[in-house]
Amino acid sequence: MNQLTIIGDRLRATLIGLVNKFSVCSHRRTTLPMSSATDNSTRAEQAASGEMLIVCLDCGRRFPYGWKTMCIDKKRAG
């Protein structure tokens, strides 16, 4: 019974991953820009070095954020 549960969990995770990969998300609901760094540098230093990002609240995808342009940095988003 335990092996069936493990197989079921893996199958469920795989299916959810496939649905998320092929579903269309408009990324309209996002977090405020935040730093991706964990050190003690200031927000201005992080913005200058291009380490800011936003996260879609619907699908969880992360996007680099251009602090100067105030939008998703499409050059680095890929």
Alpha helices in the chain (DSSP H): 2-22, 43-48, 74-77
Structure tokens at 67: 């602090």
Domain assignment of residue 56, yes or no? yes
Domain count, the chain: 1
Structure tokens at 25: 């998300």
Domain assignment of residue 2, yes or no? no
Domain assignment of residue 62, yes or no? yes
pLDDT of residue 4: 72
Domain assignment of residue 33, yes or no? yes
pLDDT of residue 39: 58
Q: What pTM did the predictor assign?
A: 0.54
pLDDT of residue 26: 80
Domain that holds residue 31: 25-78
Distance from C-alpha of 52 to C-alpha of 34, rounded to nearest angstrom: 5
Q: What is the mean pLDDT, run by run of 10 residues, along the chain of 78 residues? A: 76 76 80 75 58 86 86 75
Structure tokens at 1: 């019974």
Domain assignment of residue 58, yes or no? yes
Per DSSP bridges, beta strands 62-66 and 34-35 are: unpaired
The residue behind tokens 């342009």 is 69
pLDDT of residue 52: 87
